[in-house]
Amino acid sequence: MTVGKKPTKKREAARVEKPETTEDNASVAATIIDVESLDAEQVFAEGGSASVIAMVEKSLAEAPSDISTASGRKAIISFARRITRTKTMLDEIGKSVAAEWKKKAGGVDAERRAIKDSLDEFVVTVRKPVDDYEAKETLRLDEQAGRLAWIEAQAAFETQEPSAKDISERIEQLAAYGGNWDWQEFASRADDARARVMEALKVALGLAMAREAQQAELERLRADAARRDQADRDRAIAAQAADAARRAAEKETSEKVADAALGEAEARRKAEEADQARIAAVAEAEAVRRRASDDAKAAAVDAAEKAIEAERQRVADERAAEQRAADARAADKAHRGKINGAACAALVSAGIPDDMAKLAMIEIIQGRVPAVTISY
C-alpha cells in the first residue's frame, strides 16, 4: 500500500469527518516529515523503518534549542509535538498495513515498536532541555519558598512570653538572613516579609522589656516588704522584751513590798515580846519599849515610802509602755495607710475609677478577696 495512492471510499469517508487544517492548528497538525509521500509497504517492510527513523533523526538538526525565552521554549515543545504527530500518523498507517498483512503482523508490529520507541526517545531528547529547565525552575521556586517560610516563621516562639534576649537574637538573625542571595522575582516579597516580621519582633521586644521591668520592680517591692516585715518582727521582739522586763520589775517590787510587810509583822512580834519583858523591869522595859517603838515606826515609815515610790515607778513604767505601744500602733497605722494609698493609686493609674479602687482596697484589706493580700 502506498500512502500517496488514491484513498478508498472508507478512507474518503474518514477524511471527510476529519476537521480541516487551518492556520490556527496547522503547527499542531504538521508532521516532522512528509508522511503521506511515503510508501507504506516499504516503510513497514522488514528493516524499512530505518529509513524513516533516519529521516526523522536528520530533521532533529532543525530542532530549536533556545530555552532563554518563552517563545523559544514554546518552539521546542511544538517541534516535539510534530514528532509525536509523525509517530501517531506512522503508527496509524502501520496499523492499516498490519491489518492487510495479517501474516506479516509480527514483523510490522516490530517495525511499529521500533519507530514508536525511537521517536519516543527523540521526543525525550528534544524535550530534555525544557524538562531540565522546568525541573531546575521547580527546585529554585521550592528553595525560594522555603526561604520565605523561614522568614515568616521567625515571628513565632514556642513560649507565649519569650524573653527579650531570645527576641533580640531573632532580630539579629533575621537582619543577617539572606543578605547575599539573589531573590530574583521574590525580592519584593522577601523584603515585605522581612519588614513585617521585623516590625512584629520589635513590638514583641518592647512588650518583653516592659514585662521584665515590671517583674524586676515586683521583686524589688517584695524585697522591700520582706525587709519591713523583718523590721516589724524585730520591733515586736523588742517590745516583748521590754514588756518582760517591766513584768520582772513589777514582780521584784511586789516581792520587796511583801518582804517589808513581813518585816513589819516581825517587828510587831518583837515589840510584843519586848512589852512582856518590860513587865519584869519597868524602867528598863519602858526605855526599851520607847526605843523599839521609835525604831519600828521609822522602819515602817521607810518601808511605806519605798512601797509608794515603787508603785509610782511601776505606774510610770506602765504609762511609758502604753505610750510606746500607742506610738507603735500609730506608726503601723501610718505605714499601712501609706502602703494602702500607694496600692489604691496604682489601681487608679491602671484605669480603675477612684471609688471602685477604694472599694477594692477595702475588700482586699478585710480579706474578702481570695488569694489576694497586701504585704506591709
pLDDT of residue 78: 94
Note whether residue 155 is domain-resident.
Answer: no
* Residue at which a domain ends, from 146, 163, 185: 146
| CA distance linking residue 214 with residue 204, whole number of Å | 15
Domain count, the chain: 2
pLDDT of residue 270: 64
pTM score of the predicted model? 0.38
Note whether residue 56 is domain-resident.
Answer: yes
Note whether residue 36 is domain-resident.
Answer: yes
| CA distance linking residue 208 with residue 215, whole number of Å | 10
Question: What are the residues whose beta carbons fall under 8 Å from the beta carbon of 186, sequence distance 6 or more?
Answer: 144, 147, 148
* Pair 356, 216 in one domain: yes
SS3 assignment, position 155: coil
| CA distance linking residue 65 with residue 42, whole number of Å | 33
pLDDT of residue 175: 85
Note whether residue 100 is domain-resident.
Answer: yes
* Pair 141, 215 in one domain: no
* Pair 215, 72 in one domain: no
* Residue at which a domain ends, from 111, 146, 181: 146
Q: Virtual CA dihedral for 30, 31, 36, 42, nearest 10 degrees?
A: 180
* Pair 96, 237 in one domain: no
* Pair 219, 355 in one domain: yes
- Count how many residues are written for the chain: 376
* Pair 212, 313 in one domain: yes
Kindly tell me the sign of the dihedral angle through the C-alpha atoms of 183, 185, 190, 195.
positive
Note whether residue 140 is domain-resident.
Answer: yes
CA end-to-end distance (rounded Å), the chain: 114
C-alpha cell at 242: 521590754
* Pair 228, 345 in one domain: yes
* Pair 241, 328 in one domain: yes
* Pair 129, 260 in one domain: no
Range of the domain at 231: 203-365
Note whether residue 185 is domain-resident.
Answer: no
Count of alpha carbons within 13 angstroms of residue 251, beta-carbon side:
6
Note whether residue 186 is domain-resident.
Answer: no
| CA distance linking residue 105 with residue 109, whole number of Å | 6
* Residue at which a domain ends, from 146, 164, 190: 146
pLDDT of residue 130: 93
What backbone phi and psi angles, to 5 degrees, belong to 119? -70, -30
pLDDT of residue 185: 84
pLDDT of residue 2: 40
Q: pLDDT 10s digit of each residue in the chain, 376 long?
A: 344 343 343 333 333 233 344 333 443 448 888 888 888 888 888 888 899 999 999 999 989 999 999 999 999 999 999 999 999 999 999 888 878 877 766 777 788 889 999 999 999 999 999 999 999 989 989 988 888 889 888 888 888 889 988 899 989 888 888 767 787 888 888 888 888 998 989 998 899 898 888 888 888 999 888 888 888 888 888 777 667 767 766 676 666 666 666 666 666 676 566 556 556 655 665 665 577 567 767 777 787 788 788 888 888 888 888 888 888 888 888 898 899 889 889 889 989 898 888 888 888 888 888 888 888 8
* Pair 216, 344 in one domain: yes
Q: Kindly report the average pLDDT of the chain as a whole number.
A: 80
pLDDT of residue 21: 40
* Pair 248, 118 in one domain: no
CA distances from 314 to 136, 153, 170, 252, 285 (A): 105, 80, 74, 11, 42
pLDDT of residue 107: 75
* Pair 57, 128 in one domain: yes
Note whether residue 180 is domain-resident.
Answer: no
